[in-house]
Structure 1
Amino acid sequence: LLDVTVVASAFLGLYVKTPRTDIDSEILQVGTHESLVEFGAAVTAGAGAQDAATSKDQSLGTVAVTLVLDPLTEAAQRVAPLLLVLRDQLKVPLRLLLLPEMEYSEFPLQKFYRYVVTSDLSDVAPRAVFRDLPKHQILTMRMDVPEPWNVQSSWTLQDVDNLRCDDVICGDEPGSTVTTIEYSLKSLVVGGQCYDVVFHHPPNGLQLSLLSSSTAANTDAISDTLVMQNLGYFQLQAQPGVWQIALASGRGRDLFELLTDQADSSHPVVKDEEEEASLVPVSSHPVLVTTFYDTVTQLRVRKKRGMEDLQLLEDTPSTGEEQQPASASQTVEVQAQGPGSSVAAGGGGIFSSMSKMFSLSTNTTQQEDNKIHVFSLATGHLYERFLKIMMLSVVKRSSMPVKFWLFENFLSPTFKESAEAMAQAYGFEVAFVTYKWPSWLRQQTSKQRIIWGYKILFLDVLFPLNVNKVIYVDSDQTVRGDLAELWKMDLKGKPYGYTPFCSSRKETLGYQFWRQGYWKDHLRGKPYHISALYVVDLLRFRQMAVGDQLRALYDQLSRDPNSLANLDQDLPNYAQHMVPIFSLPQEWLWCESWCSDDTKAKAKTIDLCNNPMHKEPKLDMAKRVISGALFKEGWNELDEEIRELEHRHKITAGSREATTASFSVGGG
């Protein structure tokens, strides 16, 4: 019963500081004969209310469960299968009070929900079954799992973002109405909090590594991350087993030491007067991943003796547009040579200090800096199709090696197989990254807004610590220029660079909301940028704690459900006065909706922005816009090239061609 209670409370997100002891009197006040249903413990699974009454000695002691529910809420959808387990398997008496709202402006439930728990404990493969779903709407499948679980789609023929029926097919096979989707638990999240026992605040920016043994060698790191300012939170991915968390090499390890209680170590005792406890420094902290429940790992650190006055995040010159420090030009020169040149020569300035602060090792960092790192994400078969064409266009035009970092949470198994085949055929690298949205950060319920959030809120922790820069490219873009130019571009000390919206297509100027009202007053002359392409200097981004600032601002603004309409775009633009944006040259992003036709010839990337004046299917727009004399290969040619590659590798995209999407991934 205890395990069930823990799982249920964590899953439902119900946290009560003091128990409610006067439940009976409150039930009597609001309950009626029609709304209050009392169930005894059932003798057999599935027994109805008439057969449910049993004596108290057949139930679990004197435990009883009382629930007050609005039946037309997500909470009621979640708790219903748990109630069946409590009643039928644990023999717990239940009292259920249904208390619905009396008036609705619209039907409150917009989704079908199944909780994968079964009252038949002999079933070794629990599954969710949806029956009699509507056939004339497009449905989207989304998993709702406990925070520690990293669950990925492992097998499916259908597009889980566009489940639908048509005249030809309504299932995995012609003539079938059954669609099967399999998911697997890929890893578990090791989450926790880290705080400085002397200064009593999180050491935000402190880098951590998950090791396979007690050694502090970074070559053994399974995953790495940094400590957020938000609650001192950190997150690492692991498999079940015994692991060690250690401070990653660099400035953090130079300044801090990891502590543990005297009882947990045989090291000599060092008295910590601030906490009045005996703490000893250790090289690593053991972590046991032995449960599927949400556990919190507490890490304690303090500054080493003699390092108390040094800051982990060093002060750097101003990033204001009026100032262009000499160190900014040093940054470009060193980046072109690789950080190893600066370290070997003992070079100073911003870059060499940040390289030490935010790199695991000089050699691995130099290897990563000699290639272009491209980040992107997609969901649904159509946008996966766009993503493959974007990747191919990048590689064909690039003068440097390319490594793609693809957000794994929403990708299909078929796409991953195809991406790996493309990497082998075209000589680029591909890696998949994942992150779990923390429970303490305000959640989004729409899948589109969840994707937008992942584009901007976790850039500081999404990539390995030895990756110093990434270029985000929307999946529906086609690249005409060499991304090496963008990779080497001087951002003038700013953490990221975006392209401002075009203003050359006069007929759509009236739709640019930032030219008037609130946004005009807030921007105070600064441009409003599009989020379809941006460059992130991760060294600078982490050193300025931009991730912490954006998350705090997001949590504040998202309290109003009408704010941040375009989350991934509005947030960095709103934050310009605290986190400056470097405006990229206009030719780095051309979009037909906002840019004039005569500027297309200079465009280095083409984005398929939605047109505010009329709707056009994305696939038709791609074939029309990305064609003609301006392109070495049009969209159709690139698409056919990928299809031929997949045919050679016998990769099947599914039972129907990807032609539609239920929502857009990109900005603009």
Structure 2
Amino acid sequence: IEKAVTAEYELEYLLLEGHCFDLTTDQPPRGLQFTLGTKNKPVVVDTIVMANLVRKKPDKIKEDILSDKGEKKRGMWDSIKRIMMLSVLRNTKTPVKFWFLKNYLSPTFKEVIPHMAKEYGFQYELVQYRWPRWLHQQTEKQRIIWGYKILFLDVLFPLAVDKIIFVDADQIVRHDLKELRDFDLDGAPYGYTPFCDSRTEMDGYRFWKTGYWASHLLKRKYHISALYVVDLKKFRRIAAGDRLRGQYQTLSQDPNSLSNLDQDLPNNMIYQVAIKSLPQEWLWCETWCDDESKQRAKTIDLCNNPKTKEPKLKAAARIVPEWVEYDTEIRQLLDHLENKKKSAVLTHDEL
């Protein structure tokens, strides 16, 4: 650049950090719920007090380095997310609200969301939470997202939200999610679907059947994190967030632990934070589930196949018949929006 460049920045949020202690116990009042606001608007946001874990030494803190998959990769995942959303809306009869991690959406996706909401009649909200400085940091973008999926469920959503359902972006929903929302978790704070065992030719890839996981789980199932339902009231009541963060802080110091962070952590903590096993049909994946069980699938997950390594979009068109229909409908909407934008620009130029 050979000439001066002018840049404008907009202050979007202020980060508030604080500590509080119970005078009678001299301990943080873990799980205390409170609101923050101004004199004129007393309730702006709400949050809870979390247990503060040991702070790392300053010389041990590494610089955050976020890997970037590139524009082409982001475009593919934008398309996959929109198709997942459309499959939810097509099969769920009650009103739907989508929650998105704001920091990890592309500008294009954020631009299109309001138009999709208007077209299909759903609500949405962008949420974000600053990773605490005292909690062991992740540096890879994918692992940071995995961390948000499990470590901050108690503080990421407003306190008025009772339940949330997490659906992986590369998933097609074929059933009304209200049934999953109303599913009895038998007192557990969350419910996950176990990995399928029915495709026997993949037995050699089932890492949870041997070694540490076999001895840790005993007769229990290893659960997949592609779909789960969380009772946030129960989750907060039993301080599940603090328990999970405490175990994460210990295990994450070892680079060989928590290779699948969002999955390994809740399975590791199954004796301290119970998991309710959802019926198998709530998550069908061709890699692990046999062909016969596909007809009962309430969702289809496009999980990677370690044997074939088939590209995701190619697998989607082959495995999910309705994929092409959804993809075509979304493309038509995007084309319509692009034409409207071009028309507006031409009109402005003429003026």
Structure-2 change in CA distance of 1:636 and 1:196 (3 Å): same
Matches within 5 A, 1:95-244: 125=7, 185-213=11-39, 220-230=42-52
Residues in 2 aligned to 1:125 and 1:407: alpha-carbon distance in whole angstroms: 26
Are the counterparts in 1 of residues 195 and 224 from structure 2 also a CA contact under 8 Å?
Answer: yes
Are the counterparts in 1 of residues 191 and 276 from structure 2 also a CA contact under 8 Å?
Answer: yes
Matches within 5 A, 1:244-393: 380-393=74-87
Residues in 1 aligned to 2:77 and 2:219: alpha-carbon distance in whole angstroms: 35
Matches within 5 A, 1:572-583: 572-583=266-277
How far did residue 212 of structure 1 move?
Answer: 2.5
Structure-2 change in CA distance of 1:423 and 1:645 (3 Å): same
Residues in 1 aligned to 2:106 and 2:317: alpha-carbon distance in whole angstroms: 24
Residues in 2 aligned to 1:381 and 1:230: alpha-carbon distance in whole angstroms: 38
The CA deviation string for residues 135-191 of structure 1, in whole angstroms up to 9 with x for no partner, is xxxxxxxxxxxxxxxxxxxxxxxxxxxxxxxxxxxxxxxxxxxxxxxx865322112
Are the counterparts in 2 of residues 417 and 651 from structure 1 also a CA contact under 8 Å?
Answer: no
1:171 is matched with which residue? none
In structure 2, which of residues 297, 309, 333 is the aligned counterpart of residue 645 of structure 1? 333
The CA deviation string for residues 258-287 of structure 1, in whole angstroms up to 9 with x for no partner, is xxxxxxxxxxxxxxxxxxxxxxxxxxxxxx
Structure-2 change in CA distance of 1:594 and 1:580 (3 Å): same
Matches within 5 A, 1:426-505: 426-505=120-199
How far did residue 464 of structure 1 move?
Answer: 0.6
2:300 is matched with which residue? 606
Secondary structure at the counterpart of residue 47 of structure 2: strand
| TM-score between the two structures when normalised by the length of structure 2 | 0.87
Are the counterparts in 2 of residues 502 and 594 from structure 1 also a CA contact under 8 Å?
Answer: yes
What amino acid sits opposite 2:190 in the alignment? Answer: Y
Are the counterparts in 1 of residues 166 and 228 from structure 2 also a CA contact under 8 Å?
Answer: yes
How far did residue 381 of structure 1 move?
Answer: 2.2
What amino acid sits opposite 1:221 in the alignment? Answer: V
How far did residue 650 of structure 1 move?
Answer: 2.1
2:65 is matched with which residue? none
1:421 is matched with which residue? 115
Are the counterparts in 1 of residues 92 and 177 from structure 2 also a CA contact under 8 Å?
Answer: yes
Structure-2 change in CA distance of 1:232 and 1:545 (3 Å): farther
What amino acid sits opposite 2:29 in the alignment? Answer: P
Residues in 2 aligned to 1:651 and 1:443: alpha-carbon distance in whole angstroms: 43
1:399 is matched with which residue? 93
Residues in 1 aligned to 2:339 and 2:34: alpha-carbon distance in whole angstroms: 39
Aligned residues: 322
What amino acid sits opposite 2:119 in the alignment? Answer: A
What amino acid sits opposite 1:538 in the alignment? Answer: L
How far did residue 561 of structure 1 move?
Answer: 0.5
CA RMSD of aligned residues (A): 2.2
Residues in 2 aligned to 1:470 and 1:506: alpha-carbon distance in whole angstroms: 33
Structure 2: segments with no counterpart, 5+ residues: 56-72, 341-351
Secondary structure at the counterpart of residue 595 of structure 1: coil
Percent identity over paired residues? 57
Are the counterparts in 2 of residues 444 and 450 from structure 1 also a CA contact under 8 Å?
Answer: yes
Residues in 1 aligned to 2:44 and 2:336: alpha-carbon distance in whole angstroms: 34
The CA deviation string for residues 586-609 of structure 1, in whole angstroms up to 9 with x for no partner, is 000000000001100000000001
Secondary structure at the counterpart of residue 109 of structure 2: helix
What amino acid sits opposite 2:46 in the alignment? Answer: D
Residues in 2 aligned to 1:581 and 1:641: alpha-carbon distance in whole angstroms: 37
Structure-2 change in CA distance of 1:410 and 1:195 (3 Å): same
If asked which structure has higher relative contact order (CA below 8 Å, sep 6+), I would say: 2
How far did residue 197 of structure 1 move?
Answer: 2.1
The CA deviation string for residues 25-82 of structure 1, in whole angstroms up to 9 with x for no partner, is xxxxxxxxxxxxxxxxxxxxxxxxxxxxxxxxxxxxxxxxxxxxxxxxxxxxxxxxxx
Matches within 5 A, 1:1-20: none
Are the counterparts in 1 of residues 53 and 135 from structure 2 also a CA contact under 8 Å?
Answer: no
Secondary structure at the counterpart of residue 642 of structure 1: helix
Secondary structure at the counterpart of residue 508 of structure 1: helix
Higher mean alpha-carbon deviation, 416-425 vs 451-460, is at 416-425
Structure-2 change in CA distance of 1:651 and 1:471 (3 Å): farther
Are the counterparts in 2 of residues 508 and 612 from structure 1 also a CA contact under 8 Å?
Answer: no
What amino acid sits opposite 1:125 in the alignment? Answer: A
Are the counterparts in 1 of residues 53 and 246 from structure 2 also a CA contact under 8 Å?
Answer: no
How far did residue 504 of structure 1 move?
Answer: 0.4
The CA deviation string for residues 240-259 of structure 1, in whole angstroms up to 9 with x for no partner, is xxxxxxxxxxxxxxxxxxxx
Are the counterparts in 2 of residues 590 and 605 from structure 1 also a CA contact under 8 Å?
Answer: yes
What amino acid sits opposite 2:138 in the alignment? Answer: Q
How far did residue 418 of structure 1 move?
Answer: 1.3
The CA deviation string for residues 594-637 of structure 1, in whole angstroms up to 9 with x for no partner, is 0001100000000001101121111111111111xxxxxx1111
Secondary structure at the counterpart of residue 195 of structure 1: coil
Structure-2 change in CA distance of 1:419 and 1:528 (3 Å): same
Structure-2 change in CA distance of 1:416 and 1:124 (3 Å): closer
The CA deviation string for residues 374-424 of structure 1, in whole angstroms up to 9 with x for no partner, is xxxxx8222121111111110110121110011111111211121211111
Name whichever structure is richer in helix by fraction: 2
Residues in 1 aligned to 2:171 and 2:320: alpha-carbon distance in whole angstroms: 10
What amino acid sits opposite 2:183 in the alignment? Answer: M
Residues in 2 aligned to 1:203 and 1:381: alpha-carbon distance in whole angstroms: 44
Name whichever structure is richer in strand by fraction: 1
Are the counterparts in 2 of residues 224 and 464 from structure 1 also a CA contact under 8 Å?
Answer: yes
Residues in 1 aligned to 2:279 and 2:117: alpha-carbon distance in whole angstroms: 30
1:591 is matched with which residue? 285
Are the counterparts in 2 of residues 204 and 227 from structure 1 also a CA contact under 8 Å?
Answer: yes
1:555 is matched with which residue? 249
Q: Which has the larger radius of gyration?
A: 1
How far did residue 232 of structure 1 move?
Answer: 12
